Amino acid sequence: FFKQKTAYEIGVRLEGSEMCIRDRSSDLVDIINLKEYLPANVRLADKSFDGKITATVYIEPIATKDLSVPAENITISGVPEGMEAEITTEAETYDITVSGLDRDISILRDDTVTGVLDLEKWMDDNNVEELTPGNYTIPVTFNLSEDIMVENDVNIHIRLKNQDTNN
């Protein structure tokens, strides 16, 4: 069973080959002689194999899709012990534009996309040792496949307070 790989997953680089995909709008097929890419003192195990393979690079355009993620699909994680956090941004939905291969983004629906306000990650990213009660603006990390990019940043305002007080 052979799994197709993306160009980023292929570890061997065929530098100088005809497999350049820059400015391509359709699939690229080429015959490659693997013997040309073997290191010195390395040979193919099967002596009857001439080393030539047919390689196909499938070309697909990047597609985009606009989504309106419901506010209830956004959660907060990493709230310090003894504190509570609430979202103070008043929005029913958060608009995002995603990009990726059509087969990946076409299945996304507004109500199935979720996001998280990760306070621990925000603290690490901003070199914050300890959170104190107050108002913060935290970026949303949307839970999407690594093959899908969110084109715009979404930041949400939160209020952090001690659990047993109003501050």
pLDDT mean over 56-66: 90
pTM of the model: 0.69
Average pLDDT taken over every residue of the chain = 87
Of 71, 38, 42, 79, give the one whose Cα is nearest residue 162.
Answer: 79
- Report whether 51 contacts 33 (CB < 8 A): yes
Structure confidence by residue, pLDDT tens digits, 87-139:
999 999 999 999 999 999 999 999 999 999 999 999 999 999 999 999 999 99
Q: Between β-strands 93-100 and 74-77, what pairing exists: parallel, antiparallel or unpaired? A: unpaired
pLDDT score, position 150: 96
Reported confidence tier of residue 26, pLDDT bands at 50, 70, 90: confident
Query: Does residue 135 or residue 56 have the better pLDDT?
Result: 135
Query: Does residue 24 or residue 118 have the better pLDDT?
Result: 118
What is the Cα–Cα distance from 167 to 165, expressed in whole angstroms?
A: 6
What is the Cα–Cα distance from 166 to 136, expressed in whole angstroms?
A: 16
Query: Does residue 130 or residue 23 have the better pLDDT?
Result: 130
Structure confidence by residue, pLDDT tens digits, 10-20:
445 555 556 77
